[in-house]
Amino acid sequence: MVRMELIAVTLFGLESLVAKEIRDLGYETIKVEDGRVTFEGDETAICEANLWLRTAERVLIKVGEFEATSFDMLFEKTKALPWSDWLPENAAFPVKGYSLKSDLFSVPDCQGIIKKAIVEKMKQRYNKDWFDEKGPCYQVQFSLLKNKAVLMIDTSGEGLHKRGYRKKANAAPLRETLAAGLVNLSVWKPGKAFIDPFCGSGTIAIEAALIGANIAPGLLRNFAAQRWEHIPKGLWKDIRKEAYEKINYDHEFKVLGCDIDKDALALARHNAQLAQVEEYVSFEQKDAANIHSNEKYGCIICNPPYGERLGEKSAAESIYRKMGKTFSHIDTWSYYILTSHEEFENHFGKRASKKRKLYNGMIKCNLYQYFGPKPKQQK
């Protein structure tokens, strides 16, 4: 097994959650920066991280890191990296990346230089001039930040938020990784009541069900590195088998998703079936103003309409006012509300216990967290 540095790419605001997930898998984190967590691992770590990380966007192998202020430096230092340790002769190796606050600001030029440097390295290693790139994909990614280049290979393929259960979505679905993050940030545990009153296509409820039953989020999909020869096929098989064995069939729990829109609920039910969690979730058509529960303690986790589009702001504000009234009847519950509306607390009528900045795509949001009292210990 080869020890290497791996990078889990994260949404802004979820770095600490991803770092915790990595440590829970048994790997040591080296660095936590904006949008990425670096950790140490081997081939097993590549398989486990892809299969199990709920809040990371993708897992990359760090091939090298260096200072680059000219195209010559970028070319020479890229060429010096051990590409042929990873790329087989038939590898497809497209290059993509970004540049921020760096002298080399033209991304297409950087892409071209990096590609050329890797080809030169491959020519030396394989003693040939032309590569048809018809084999497995080794997507090369680069970042240039303040003249520091990091070169990586993507092991995930499609982003890890694509679990495989959401073939269709409603108008404003939440990313599965962010939905899992909201659940992980809450005090919800299987057995405790759970409601998402604005469930839309069901993402938060489905992610809660996956977490509650300890179902690995990547079980229904494949990853780019499954086609690589460095990682024995048997390893992927063993790690999937272990993941099936870790599913907790003993937990009896039910999470509830509600929405006013019956088409959204039909989609949510369909998605829950695809995710194979239909026994843990139920969906009801209901106005959020009519939410109630006989359970003394529980969690509400939701992303209501934000009112971002012209003409929708006052409708969103009216929903927040209704939520404020309804939720006050279950004030022993904890609520977690994600919205970009800056004045949310004023309309809801209560200051949050804590706020956390999160990004829903490009939209800057706050997660307004209201903590209920701790359940009394049973004597």
Ligand X SMILES: C[S@@+](CC[C@H](N)C(=O)[O-])C[C@H]1O[C@@H](n2cnc3c(N)ncnc32)[C@H](O)[C@@H]1O
The yes or no reply on residue 204 touching ligand X (CB under 6 A) is yes
Site for ligand X in 225-284 (CB under 6 A): 259-261, 264
Q: Smallest distance from the beta carbon of 245 to ligand X, in angstroms?
A: 30
Cross-strand partners of 152: 62, 141
Cα–Cα dist 50/33, whole Å: 20
Q: Which residue has the tokens 């970004």?
A: 98
Q: Which residues contact 263 (CB under 8 A, 6 or more apart)?
A: 170
Q: Does residue 303 interact with ligand X by CB under 6 A?
A: yes
Contacting residue, 55, 99, 143, 203, with ligand X by CB under 6 A? 203
Q: How far apart are CA 161 and CA 190, in angstroms?
A: 22
- The residue within the footprint of ligand X, chosen from 122, 152, 288, 352 (CB under 6 A), is 288
Cα 213 from Cα 243, distance rounded (Å): 11
Q: 50 or 360: whose CB is closer to ligand X? A: 360
Residue 258 beta carbon to ligand X: minimum distance, rounded to whole angstroms: 6
Kindly provide the b/e burial profile for residues 23-37, where b requires at least 16 CB atoms within 10 angstroms of the residue's own CB.
eebebebeebeebbb
342-370 core/surface letters (b: 16 or more CB in 10 A; e: else): eebbebbeeebeeebebbbeeeebbbbbb
Closer residue to ligand X (CB): 197 or 217: 197
Out of 13, 190, 197, 217, the only residue in the binding site for ligand X (CB under 6 A) is 197
Contact predicate 38/66, CB 8 Å:
no
Minimum separation from the CB atom of position 55 to ligand X (A): 15
Residue closest to ligand X (Cβ):
200
Determine, following the binding rule CB under 6 A, whether residue 209 of this chain makes contact with ligand X: no
Q: Per the structure block, which two tokens stand in for 232?
A: 């024995």
Q: Which amino acid makes up residue 8?
A: A
> Using CB under 6 A, which of 319, 352, 358, 367 touches ligand X?
319
Q: Mapping DSSP to helix (H, G, I), strand (E, B) and coil, where does residue 285 land? A: strand
Q: Per CB under 6 A, which region of 3-11, 133-141, 198-206, 348-356 contacts ligand X?
A: 198-206
Residues from 151 through 180 that contact ligand X (CB under 6 A): 170, 172-174
* Contacting residues toward ligand X, per CB under 6 A: 170, 172-174, 197-201, 203-204, 259-261, 264, 287-288, 303-305, 319
